[in-house]
Amino acid sequence: MLSKRQQEIIETSIELIAEKGIQGLTIKNLSRAIGISEPGIYRHFESKTEILVTILNNFRDMAAMLSGLMQHSEDSAINNISFMFNKMVETFVETPSLVAVIFSEEIFKNEEILNNKIVEILNLNEQTIEKILTKGQKQGNVRDDIDEKSLALLVMGSLRLMVKRWDLNKHNFNLQDEGAKLLEAIKTLISK
């Protein structure tokens, strides 16, 4: 459980990322934004990397919660995919700066711990979607002429590209509206 100050540091870090990009998240900028000294930041987190790991852990926890919900869901595979897709879009709309953190593999590839966290989140989401699709294939409502791994890649890749395009275009279109259109196309592609 994070302390009140740690939570403030995390929230301010996310705001800095939204404002200045991932490169703008420095201990100096962070201490200035919060109004405490740089050593004050280090009393709560050892490094910028630890702050980013905490942000990624929060996202991983959300992915794990979604996975648990989907595992126990009696709904159809198509409805479960829709639920997950919409939940992810909603999360990015509520906290756009998460896009810069979650989709920063290029920046993180030399930081093994951050790279591993991103891979962990991707793998968890991929496994969850694959399980939903496999269940749908067994129930006969998801096409079975394409394997579940390829279908999961279509779902995840489509979502990722749309969200990244939204972020690069400085959020100049309604992500939820575009997400709804994309989701309808995905449902058409994966339905049997």
Domain ranges of the chain: 1-45, 52-190
Which has the minimum average pLDDT: 19-28, 31-40, 43-52, 153-162?
Answer: 19-28
What is the average pLDDT across 56-79? Answer: 92
Which whole number is the average pLDDT over 21-38?
92
For residues 86-97, give the mean pLDDT. Answer: 91
Rounded CA separation 103/21 (Å): 12
Confidence of residue 26 (pLDDT cuts 50, 70, 90): very high
**pTM summary value:** 0.87
Among 111-120, 148-157, 176-185, the range scoring the smallest mean pLDDT is: 111-120
CATH number listed for the domain at residues 52-190: 1.10.357.10
Q: What is the pLDDT of residue 17?
A: 85
Q: Answer whether residue 87 shows pLDDT above 80.
A: yes
Euclidean distance between CA atoms 104 and 59, whole angstroms: 14
Say whether domain 1-45 belongs to CATH 1.10.10.60. Answer: yes
How many other C-beta atoms are found inside a 10 Å radius of the C-beta of residue 91? 18
Residue 13 pLDDT > 80, yes or no? yes
- DSSP 3-state percent helix, strand, coil across the chain (nearest 5): 80, 0, 20
